[in-house]
Amino acid sequence: MLFLLTPPHAILWSDLPERTIDIAREHGGDLGRLDWRDTEEPHDPATVVQVALRHGEACSRGIVFPASPLIAVEEPGKLASLLEKSQESERALAPHDEVMEALMPGWIEHGRKLSADVDESVRRTIAREQEEADAFMAAPVREDVRAAWLQMGGLVL
């Protein structure tokens, strides 16, 4: 999957494979002429710009970049949000634990242990995903892409 960032910071997508960018680099061609669709998921514009400047290729309409770096960079935040929502749900259901404890002694302790194990597992996953995200963001900004982006009216957020 590919994304197209257009000035000032609209995001479109195509289901073409990421290697399409390499083919266009090698053989020429304007990736802006491909069929692009509006994205359905929200993305942070500043993050998109930073990923595109590092991993994209300038075209007539903006910057085309592979989806995988953006997905990797966004993943730790999404997982952290899901963990927080899960913990909120547990707190909301806590009053019902007393009823379950009366029916099945040990319910509360088992639930605490299970929750702690799941939370720790998710935190480890977030840490691994953050390492991958950091690696993508450690790539240098491509100055040719940045210059083309600014020339077409793009904003560097």
- What are the domain boundaries of the chain? 2-71+139-151, 75-135
pTM of the full predicted structure? 0.85
Give CA torsion, residues 108, 121, 90, 79, to 10 deg: 180
Rounded to whole angstroms, what are the CA distances from 80 to 86, 117, 128? Answer: 10, 15, 12
d(CA 119, CA 125): 10
d(CA 94, CA 8): 46
Tens digit of each residue's pLDDT, the chain (157 residues) = 999 999 988 999 999 999 999 999 999 999 999 999 999 999 999 999 999 999 999 999 999 999 999 999 999 999 999 999 999 999 998 888 989 989 999 999 999 999 999 999 999 999 999 999 999 999 999 999 999 999 999 989 7
Say which amino acid occupies 96.
Answer: H
